[in-house]
Amino acid sequence: MRSTAYISGACALIALFVLACARDAPEGPGPVGTPYPLHIPSNFPPMPLPPDNPLTVEGVQLGRHLFYEKRLSGNDHQSCATCHSFSTSFTDGVSTSTGIDGVNGTRNAMALVNLGWQSFFFWDGRASTLEQQALEPVRNPIEMHDTWPAVEAQLQADPAYPPLFQAAFGTSTIDSLLVAKAIAQFLRTLISGNSPYDKWKRGEGTLSADALAGYVLFTTEAGPVGQPITLPGTNTTVIGQGGADCFHCHTEGLFTDGGFHNNALDEMPADSGRALVTHQAADLGRFKVPTLRNIGLTRPYMHDGRFFSIEQVLDHYDSGGHASATADPLMKFTDPGSSMGLTAEMRTQLKAFLDALVDYEFVGDPAIRDPGPP
């Protein structure tokens, strides 16, 4: 009895001491706040999170305000959401985006979904973290065309923002790195995993017969059944299986393999793509493989928005595109006269499958819309 009482007395003392220490902990810049309950669909892997920017309720909410904040641009007219609209899976519906000065860029605004699982950002992959990516649009002269010191001063002068930074990061002194951290936190919550395809995968729903047939085409090797095909530019031979070959690059799950490929759009690409970053000839015309999630909402398509419909995209893959030194060998039908041989029925089926990748719960989610003024 006596020794138990002694032990519990000692425990109470230790507990008091720990509490006192916790209360005295210095409050500097760094993660503070309430851990954010991230809901990851059961058919997805865990999301890797950077140790120096854990998700918090306060950080995500601040990032959401900043994503819709027009004062991040030079004339206070453009926010991230101007080019990344939630109702179209965060795209802008035009081939190439226009910045605040009316200058048209050369690239198509990318869908912002399931970014937390990716390791490269932009069509050429020049940013390798979301924190790094978020710094760029503000100072890009053909996008938001502002300077970070000006943005920091504007946000600091608004009585609403300093307390939000205090709650999210333990400091009310606003700087660009904290703005980028908060936006990156919000971007990581843009998880799309409730399409009919996902529900079918999880055993929660069914797909139409056309969509199921499209899924089989999507995940099956192309070429006439049983016929050997030599991959262009290689000595490798594969046996045709009558499919459409999409899965090699648009790998099931995220519907991107996370890598860079040249899908044979041009013989001489006007945009060098990945080579702009690596300066390697082998990367000429290679671009980040975009996700196909919500593809029915994100037209026009490709890095320059050259195709306006899924039919045009299927025409491209059916005809095989243009041969070049860097065209991916998996683009098997670049030889003139050869083709994948997609019939009208196969096209209908592939399109039905791509439509089953649209997640209307995601684009209708009130938690990702403009939250209004902070």
Residue 358 touching ligand HEC (CB under 6 A): no
Collapsing DSSP to helix, strand or coil, 365 comes out as coil
CB of 326 to ligand HEC, least distance (A): 11
> Judged by CB under 6 A, which of 174, 313, 356, 363 binds ligand HEC?
313
Minimum CB distance to ligand HEC smaller for 21 or for 273: 273
Residue 246 as a binder of ligand HEC (CB under 6 A): the answer is: yes
Q: Is 347 in the site for ligand HEC (CB under 6 A)?
A: no
Own/partner pairs, 37-46, CB within 8 angstroms, 24+ separation = 38/188, 38/189, 38/191, 39/191, 40/191, 40/193, 41/191, 41/193, 41/194, 41/198, 41/202, 42/202, 43/193, 43/198, 43/201, 43/202, 43/253, 44/114, 44/117, 44/191, 44/193, 44/253, 45/117, 45/253
Alpha helices in 70-207 (DSSP H): 80-83, 130-139, 148-157, 161-169, 176-188, 196-201
CB of 344 to ligand HEC, least distance (A): 15
How many of the chain's residues bind ligand HEC (CB under 6 A)? Answer: 52
- Per rule CB under 6 A, is residue 346 in the interface with ligand HEC? no
Q: Return the residue of 331, 346, 352, 368 that touches ligand HEC, per CB under 6 A.
A: 331
CB 334 within 8 A of CB 327: yes
> Which of 36, 169, 317, 362 contacts ligand HEC by CB under 6 A?
317
DSSP string, 227-252: -EEEPTTSS-EEE--SB--GGGTS-T
Would you say 171 or 319 has its CB closer to ligand HEC?
319
Contact status: 328 vs ligand HEC (CB under 6 A): yes
Residues 79-108 close enough to bind ligand HEC by CB under 6 A: 80, 82-84, 97, 99, 105, 107
Dihedral of alpha carbons 315, 317, 318, 319, sign: positive
20 vs 153, which CB is nearer to ligand HEC? 153
Q: Does 233 bind ligand HEC (CB under 6 A)?
A: no
Under the criterion CB under 6 A, does residue 214 sit at the interface with ligand HEC? no
Subset of 151-210 contacting ligand HEC (CB under 6 A):
183, 187
